[in-house]
Amino acid sequence: MSKLPIISLVAFITGCGAGPAADGNLLECQEQLAQCSKASGDDSVPAASSAALTPFEQEVMKDLIASVKAGVRPVSENGLGICPKHSDPKKKRECETMLGNNPGELAEGEYILYSEWAVPDVGAKGTWKIKFETECTTTRVGSDGSESTSNRSSSKEYDVVYAGKDRGYRIAPLRRITSPSPGGKVSCTYKLTAPHGDGDRLYEGGWTLPEAPK
């Protein structure tokens, strides 16, 4: 008979962590799991009275469950945002000074959109993903003072994996940015969507560029 995959069991227990079993007593959760198994014809899961996790098992799994519940997220408060290009050319993928998610109009110079992610240490490649979307509007002023606008959007998806205890999974630069803009004033917004057990998490920001002198 079919077996419930380990990842499904972890996900099931994780979901229970937000409900009546949140205090560590997983009895109700195990009863639901046993009923699910019985309905699907899988008798490999024992009854709730014998399947409840022992205190040792709960202790061993607590960090993994907490990590899955937290989902994919910026590794720290400086894990996502716009940074000036690093002063050391060899560290072009690193952030030397974090300006934040919404720094406003950027002064003359080169910048990157930087991100570094904490990823749960479970699941094969492809389990965790980041979707990155941008929307930019360029405004041009003609010689007669009239304005025209154009829009440009982009979308890309990245697989992310656990990178270790002392660092996150780095996707940088997500975007290279140069100010001012030779083609007109530019206003951009971005959003990153990360998977989470109780619904995707959305991270947003933006920047503007002045028009370069003519």
Q: Which residue has the tokens 């994919």?
A: 72
Which residue would you say has higher pLDDT here, 150 or 13?
Answer: 150
Maximum separation of any 2 CA atoms in the chain, in Å: 81
Q: Is the pLDDT of residue 7 over 50?
A: no
Three-class SS state of 65: helix
Three-class SS state of 61: helix
- Distance CA(75)–CA(95), nearest Å, equals 13
Half-sphere exposure of 53 (CA within 13 A, CB side): 22
pLDDT in tens, 46-78: 444 445 788 898 888 888 888 888 889 999 999
pLDDT in tens, 18-27: 443 444 444 4
pLDDT in tens, 96-128: 999 999 999 999 999 999 999 999 999 888 899
How high is the pLDDT of residue 69?
A: 85
Q: Is the pLDDT of residue 202 over 90?
A: yes
pTM of structure:
0.73
Phi, psi of 163 (to 5 degrees): -110, -5
How high is the pLDDT of residue 143?
A: 81
Q: Domain segments of the chain: what residues?
A: 6-70, 73-209
